[in-house]
Structure 1
């Protein structure tokens, strides 16, 4: 019997993807991640795993699960998975790209606008009964977004979607990425490639859209913040560890930069206490980038399809490690 374990609750209609496949699926109906030791023990007798970013799939886990043939992450990122170790073990790794592009780009722009115009502060001010009359020198004075310069760190699918949204605000869009786009694509998107230092120096808003790698970890550190405009704001909907949170908190506290809008954190779900204490021009969200009903449903369905296909000897639609060829199950 071919068996699949789902480590945490997902949108249950995603399991319809397994109908008629002969694959047995065990869904754990709990939103809390299992401790690492318990996850290893539970998954040991399964052929496939659907997991979330909060599940650590490392060499120790893989060694404890010798039957495992595919791990499907319900996320576009996969820094919670040791892909090299999975490849050595012959385990296919999949993710859920594309389906969350627009939802995450929408949220990045939401954070940009909310931080620039101090929306959470205004909401709290009104709810506290402090709004008594309109005044020219409003307590929550913001900054203009229309016509500003937006710097994109990373220009994958989500970064490009944010660039397209910036057109409606007549923004000058700069970008820095390890791979420069062809000139024709740059013209179509209306973006200009610059080196990292120029991106920092020129941007009114810097939005992070890079994966987490050894080279991007803490790319935004004290030196990076010092290179930004004192009026600049940082937006991060990518991966928390790309930003040194302690350095960011210090930069915000000392006025090195003006604001930040964050949806992801360095030690998620823990958030640096200094950041939490900052109330002005700092917007913090609990990883809502892909959090629309339609998007999360399709992410779960894609993960299910990836596992079904891999266990049926077909190439999954979003295979992270193509070196691992799908192989037929023994039933």
Structure 2
């Protein structure tokens, strides 16, 4: 058995593969053709965000049985193609819940408490030498007594709600078409429709997946509906927010500020309008990161592939219908699944 790693083995991954008797190959990829060359005849692959694990890549790797992402998001993998071809798409559910919820809260506090401006002015010597230049204090705000809106009420959205309750906010509302009010009741959250949330929330944090439904959920019309004092936080996925519409809204004062950890295209170009706006903070897609996350997720990412090749269930399977495809293959032409134990 062989597994291809896009990048280098992390943490205990090399040790785990060796213990399982699995050969590993490592390499960087800039294009889909690079990925096909790297994965080749491998049985499993650890893949990243870019290049996309597209239909072309999956069809070009005839022996591939499982692909595993580092973390939760799997939107870079063509699920329809993977399911059709009998390839399991794996992730590590819950691995970064704490970190992303913390980061979203940190971004919100950084904006409301003007942390960046305070540090910048102090380092520039303005506190001691030119205090009148420190004009950020009037923009500082409190969380207590305000309405927090959460878009996407899965594990991370719920963790964020738990953190917000500790700040004494007046209420927490959430939008998620797949979550009932019963789940909201457990967290003291009122489930509402999207228009209500964007109209009534003072602070909005996005925690939904990137899907066809959520693409550009925040567009020009949405920003016009929001409060002029609203602050938007996005630690989910870039395409949920139309960046040009966001920049327009920030420049026009349709909303007060935004802080994002994800962008439509990453890395964000240095010429981006968002980087030139004083009321917009951008961090480089690091919300999930911590030493604990890296260590634990590295193990679980490797275990996903090892488990699949050993006939065991992975930690996370995001295309469950593939099980039916594999069952049909085993009873007709097993193809890539020949000589692999059944789950």
Match of 2:84 in 1: 88
Contact 1:237–1:264, Cα closer than 8 Å, also in 2: yes
For residues 42 and 136 of structure 1, do their structure 2 counterparts lie closer, same or farther at Cα, with a shift above 3 Å needed? closer
Q: Deviations over 1:241-267 (max 9, x none)?
A: 000000000100110000001000011
Structure 1 unaligned segments of length 5 or more: list them: none
Point out the more displaced range, 165-174 or 5-14: 5-14
For residues 10 and 120 of structure 1, do their structure 2 counterparts lie closer, same or farther at Cα, with a shift above 3 Å needed? farther
- TM, length-normalised to structure 1: 0.93
TM-aligned CA deviation for residue 282 of structure 1: 1.6
TM-aligned CA deviation for residue 23 of structure 1: 1.3
Candidates 98, 116, 128, aligned match of 1:102: 98
Match of 2:11 in 1: 12
Contact 2:311–2:340, Cα closer than 8 Å, also in 1: no
For residues 268 and 13 of structure 1, do their structure 2 counterparts lie closer, same or farther at Cα, with a shift above 3 Å needed? same
Structure 2 unaligned segments of length 5 or more: list them: 327-336
TM-aligned CA deviation for residue 115 of structure 1: 1.3
Contact 1:155–1:209, Cα closer than 8 Å, also in 2: yes
Give the aligned length: 325
- TM, length-normalised to structure 2: 0.90
Match of 1:125 in 2: 121
For residues 318 and 133 of structure 1, do their structure 2 counterparts lie closer, same or farther at Cα, with a shift above 3 Å needed? same
1:74 aligns with 2:70: yes
1:187 aligns with 2:154: no
Q: Which has the higher helix share?
A: 2
Contact 2:275–2:281, Cα closer than 8 Å, also in 1: no
Where 1:49 maps in the other structure, the secondary structure is strand
Match of 2:276 in 1: 277
Contact 2:151–2:174, Cα closer than 8 Å, also in 1: yes
TM-aligned CA deviation for residue 138 of structure 1: 5.2
1:230 aligns with 2:250: no
Q: Deviations over 1:4-25 (max 9, x none)?
A: 0101134232333324322112
1:245 aligns with 2:256: no
Distance in 2, Cα, partners of 1:69 & 1:209? 30
Candidates 298, 303, 306, aligned match of 2:304: 306
TM-aligned CA deviation for residue 211 of structure 1: 0.2
TM-aligned CA deviation for residue 320 of structure 1: 1.0
Match of 2:294 in 1: 296
For residues 23 and 88 of structure 1, do their structure 2 counterparts lie closer, same or farther at Cα, with a shift above 3 Å needed? same
For residues 162 and 10 of structure 1, do their structure 2 counterparts lie closer, same or farther at Cα, with a shift above 3 Å needed? farther
Where 1:132 maps in the other structure, the secondary structure is helix
Instruction: Report the aligned-residue RMSD.
Output: 2.0
Contact 1:312–1:329, Cα closer than 8 Å, also in 2: no
Where 2:72 maps in the other structure, the secondary structure is coil
Where 1:316 maps in the other structure, the secondary structure is coil
